[in-house]
A and B are shown apart, each in its own frame.
Chain A
Amino acid sequence: MANVFGQAYALTVITPIIPGREGELQTYLEALPTGPDSPLAKVTSTHVARWVIIPQLVYQGRPQQSDALKSQYLLFSSSFDGDLDPYLDLLSTRMPAEIEAVWGHCAGYPGLEDRGLFKRYIRHNQIDSQFFVAAYPHSTVAQVRAALALKERILAFALEAQGMDDEQLHKTFRERLLSTPVGGLTVATKTATSQMDLADIQGNILRGYSFPAAAYVIVHVNDATAGRRFLGGLVDPVTTSTEWEVDKPETTVNVALTYSGLEAVGVPERVLDAFPDEFRVGMAGRAELLGDTGPSAPENWDPGLGTGEAHILVILYARSEETLPAHVRWLEGTITEHGGGLEIVHRQLAALLPFGREHFGFSDGFAQPAVEGSGVPGLPGQGVPLKRNRWRDVKAGEFVLGYPDEDGGLPAAPPDPLGRNGTFVVYRKMHQDVALFRSFLREAGKNFPGGEERLAAKIVGRWPDGTPLTLSPDRPDPAIANDQQKVNDFRFADDPDGLVCPLGAHVRRTYPRDALGWGGMMSLRHRLIRRGMPYGPALPLDAPDDGVERGLIFVCFQANLARQFEVMQGQWINDGNAFGLGHDRDFLLGDNFGSGKMTIHGNPPYLITPQPSFVTIKGGEYLFKPGLDALRALANGIRA
């Protein structure tokens, strides 16, 4: 049985057509749009596919005995990426109407209410291949398309470059092609499943924008029609994952909506009901669980956040801090075009600090999950820990709806077209009291072996330059910190007492790796993709508090807010029980009431207490960042 060649799979299915329905089926199939409008185009891991009606067998003459079929049959054949089960899932979620219309004409078709039954029907009627051959066996549809697109760009450059002098050649190359990530190069692994529809997924999820400046603008919708028109006007400007890879732009635009925002643009009840509870009540509604109490409680948040007024978040990035204001003005212009129909309720600028640090002085943002099928090669330590020091990528469905997740199925999602290629967003403004943090370290570091810097490293779990404590317990090591292959390649199971990296250290809490036992299975489903950015100017070293607002705009993406962000924030940061630390909270993110402690494990242990409030939450929202098709559907209005 040879259904597989490289990473490609050959599916052949023969189903009996209900007598009398052959003509209808033929008419239907022949009327289907072809090319990119074919319904099969929605099943994006399909290289080639066909439907063929077999009316009768052909008699070859003697010595063959005449053989005749009692029914006509429908043959479906597809050559696609990855395994059969995820493909059948994809088929049934991407083109349910066409499946009903086609296989509805066939005997035994069980419908799609129970997807398991549908899959069983297909498998029952599957004919195995004896011999399957593919010309590019290791390349997925996305990789083929990416390679073809890249070739066009290289060719265009080569033509332009003819006759240029060396300086001009070098400069033009750097502008046009040096920043081109080679997105499709990663060879799909044997366990590859569906590859991703980059043209439909908004940018910054699978691959972070490397731009240094951003603006977050939250819009309130007063009039549903204006809201939908506004969304419609964003469809073209919105940056997709493909656009980011192929066409590095000057600025980017992305959009997400809160539950109230979906309501405000007229999304019907039946669709709203399909969204999860935590998304509906919003971050403010989850304050107790998240530990947003005292000064961090929603009543103390910045205006516009946590009140239900926040409807549409537009995130703008720019190549430089200088080009951002014009980009923001463009957006503001499109908003005022709608008169009183829209108003801005929250505006936040952010910009990277030098050396990729956040305000407390720690290198940040470089530890991200490796996502299977994203086209971004996974680095050691980013994925799921395996035996013998290896790592595998995390299933895409942990982050983007419509793809298989670590549970083997598809993540819960609102109905198509909203669900597919979307993700849930956490937007969270975290104010940092830098002066307080520094003065605390100065005091507490006096009696700590290794001083301030080592104490800071013990609190965080990494040295300020990013070197993991686990890899270098006594000092930062630039050779590790600057090496992408090394800086995340570590585990905790060998340090069960936290003697090297304390059990409650920040990086240990936020991604426990294999620390919770069972080789990492307990951490597996709680990963986040983080795309935040610092806000406010850096506070110069040795300067006293200047009263200027600064901190981190924390943004993360996940398929499930409750299982991912809320578990991390509610159980790992805001509590210590999972690590045997009782109610101890993450020392870095602070306690809201100036109490609390941290144990720096060692011989002897060092206790730091009380825990100052280094970080205060100034506001946040839960949002949904839709795929492009979904965005269009929102703009056009979804039927009740």
Chain B
Amino acid sequence: MANTLGELTAITVLTPIKPGWMVWLRPAFYIGQNVPLVSKVLRQLSFIHFARWCVIERIPYNGPPQEKEDLHYRYLYFESNFNGTWDQYIDAFSHIIPQQMWVVWGSSFGFPGAVPVEPFKDYIRRNEYVANHYYCAYPDATTTMITSALELEQRFAEFKREAESLGPAAFATAYRDFLTDVQRHL
């Protein structure tokens, strides 16, 4: 199965959107994208590298041999790239942000609610697609490792600037302070 790579798991979901629900869905997404609090929660679920929701209004037509599609519904595409198991991931959505799950997938046919979690997992499993090829530029790094490393880089740059002019005794003290300060990131 091409859905895992090192520390990463890929999930791909496609569901039909109930007519009339775009009225709710679009503003919900707009708010989510532009109000930092909502994306903040998602980012605090610190195992997600990149995630997105797209609405497929209609399938683009490219001429023969493609036949023009004539679908009854718009479709909601969801993909995520995350650390941990698939089960942990859906559990987290169900336990931590069930309301947001309602706002988003409540617009799709067949959504059983985010709580309890087993029917929710069945729903996702039924509507999931397997990636035939999955790529990540740094598959052995989790998001926590990465955000930690970026934070460490910043603090190290500041420390280096100060350290440049210090003699050995003063440097040793500054270094130990620095190490204490960044120990969570090592």
B146 touches A135 (CB 8 A): yes
Contact of A130 among B12, B54, B59, B75 (CB under 8 A): B54
Within residues 71 to 98 of chain B, which ones have a CB less than 8 A from any CB in chain A? 71-73, 75, 77, 79, 81
A144 touches B53 (CB 8 A): no
Residue A546, interface by CB 8 Å: no
Contacts of B127 in A (CB 8 A): 58
Dominant SS at the B interface? mixed
Smallest CB separation, A102 vs chain B (Å): 9
Smallest CB separation, B33 vs chain A (Å): 4
B157 touches A133 (CB 8 A): no
Contacts of A128 in B (CB 8 A): 54
Residue A191, interface by CB 8 Å: no
**A19 to B164, alpha carbons, bound, how many Å?**
66
Specify the chain B residue showing the minimal Cβ separation from A130. B29
Within residues 109 to 148 of chain A, which ones have a CB less than 8 A from any CB in chain B? 121, 124-125, 127-136, 139, 141, 143-148
Contacts of A46 in B (CB 8 A): 135, 137
26 residue pairs A–B, Cβ–Cβ below 8 Å? A2-B33, A30-B133, A34-B134, A34-B135, A38-B135, A57-B75, A58-B14, A60-B110, A69-B59, A71-B66, A77-B79, A130-B26, A130-B29, A131-B52, A133-B39, A133-B50, A133-B51, A144-B146, A147-B146, A148-B149, A150-B153, A158-B179, A161-B175, A169-B172, A169-B175, A180-B160
Contacts of B136 in A (CB 8 A): 47-48
B143 touches A108 (CB 8 A): no
Q: Interface residues, chain A, CB within 8 Å of chain B?
A: 2, 5, 8, 10, 12, 14-16, 18-19, 26, 29-30, 32, 34-35, 38, 40-41, 44, 46-54, 57-58, 60-61, 63-65, 67, 69-71, 73, 75, 77, 79, 106-108, 121, 124-125, 127-136, 139, 141, 143-148, 150-151, 154-155, 158, 161, 166-167, 169-171, 173, 177-178, 180, 182, 184-185
Contact of B186 among A26, A134, A155 (CB under 8 A): A155
Smallest CB separation, A5 vs chain B (Å): 8
B172 touches A166 (CB 8 A): yes
B135 touches A49 (CB 8 A): yes
Contacts of A60 in B (CB 8 A): 15-16, 108-110
Contact A184/B153 with A30-B133, A54-B14, A71-B66 known, Cβ cut-off 8 Å = yes
A129 touches B39 (CB 8 A): no
**A129 to B33, alpha carbons, bound, how many Å?**
10
Contact of A50 among B62, B72, B133, B147 (CB under 8 A): B133
Specify the chain B residue showing the minimal Cβ separation from A164. B172
Contacts of B139 in A (CB 8 A): 35
Contact A154/B32 with A64-B109, A130-B53 known, Cβ cut-off 8 Å = no
Smallest CB separation, A141 vs chain B (Å): 5
B163 touches A131 (CB 8 A): no
**A15 to B150, alpha carbons, bound, how many Å?**
37
B62 touches A136 (CB 8 A): no
Contact A139/B150 with A54-B129, A65-B72, A108-B62 known, Cβ cut-off 8 Å = yes
**A580 to B77, alpha carbons, bound, how many Å?**
62
B132 touches A52 (CB 8 A): yes
Contact of B67 among A70, A75, A182 (CB under 8 A): A70
**A32 to B131, alpha carbons, bound, how many Å?**
12
A34 touches B133 (CB 8 A): yes
B146 touches A148 (CB 8 A): yes
Residue B56, interface by CB 8 Å: yes
B65 touches A19 (CB 8 A): yes
A151 touches B71 (CB 8 A): no
**A65 to B67, alpha carbons, bound, how many Å?**
20
Specify the chain B residue showing the minimal Cβ separation from A60. B110
**A607 to B1, alpha carbons, bound, how many Å?**
79
Contacts of A150 in B (CB 8 A): 149, 152-153, 156
Contact A50/B163 with A64-B109, A134-B49 known, Cβ cut-off 8 Å = no
Contact of A147 among B5, B81, B153 (CB under 8 A): B153
Smallest CB separation, A230 vs chain B (Å): 33
Q: How large is the interface on B (under 10, 10 to 19, 20 to 34, 35 or more residues)?
A: 35 or more
Q: Interface residues, chain B, CB within 8 Å of chain A?
A: 2, 5-6, 8, 10, 12, 14-16, 25-26, 29-30, 32-33, 39, 42-43, 46, 48-56, 59-60, 62-69, 71-73, 75, 77, 79, 81, 108-110, 126-127, 129-139, 141, 143, 145-150, 152-154, 156-157, 160, 163-164, 167-169, 171-172, 175, 179, 185-186
Contact A29/B133 with A54-B14, A167-B168 known, Cβ cut-off 8 Å = yes
Contact of B171 among A5, A15, A124, A169 (CB under 8 A): A169
**A52 to B168, alpha carbons, bound, how many Å?**
57
Specify the chain B residue showing the minimal Cβ separation from A21. B65
Contacts of B55 in A (CB 8 A): 127, 130
Specify the chain B residue showing the minimal Cβ separation from A25. B132
Contacts of B147 in A (CB 8 A): 135-136
Smallest CB separation, A124 vs chain B (Å): 6
Contact A173/B171 with A132-B52, A134-B49 known, Cβ cut-off 8 Å = yes
Smallest CB separation, A52 vs chain B (Å): 5
Smallest CB separation, B68 vs chain A (Å): 8
Contact A130/B137 with A30-B132, A69-B59, A70-B67 known, Cβ cut-off 8 Å = no
Contacts of B129 in A (CB 8 A): 52-54, 75
Contact of B43 among A77, A133, A182 (CB under 8 A): A133
Contacts of B126 in A (CB 8 A): 58
Contacts of B108 in A (CB 8 A): 60
Contact A144/B50 with A135-B43, A135-B146 known, Cβ cut-off 8 Å = no
Contact A107/B62 with A47-B136, A48-B81 known, Cβ cut-off 8 Å = yes
Specify the chain A residue showing the minimal Cβ separation from B57. A127
Smallest CB separation, B157 vs chain A (Å): 4
Contact A67/B71 with A135-B50, A182-B153 known, Cβ cut-off 8 Å = yes
**A8 to B81, alpha carbons, bound, how many Å?**
14
Specify the chain A residue showing the minimal Cβ separation from B49. A135
Contacts of A51 in B (CB 8 A): 131-133
Contacts of A134 in B (CB 8 A): 49-50
**A318 to B44, alpha carbons, bound, how many Å?**
47
A47 touches B131 (CB 8 A): no
Contacts of B156 in A (CB 8 A): 150, 154, 182
Contacts of B51 in A (CB 8 A): 132-133
Contact of B160 among A29, A151, A178 (CB under 8 A): A178
Contacts of B110 in A (CB 8 A): 60-61, 64
B42 touches A144 (CB 8 A): no
Q: A12-B54, A51-B131 are in contact. List 4 more A-B contacts (CB 8 A).
A: A70-B69, A71-B67, A75-B129, A151-B152
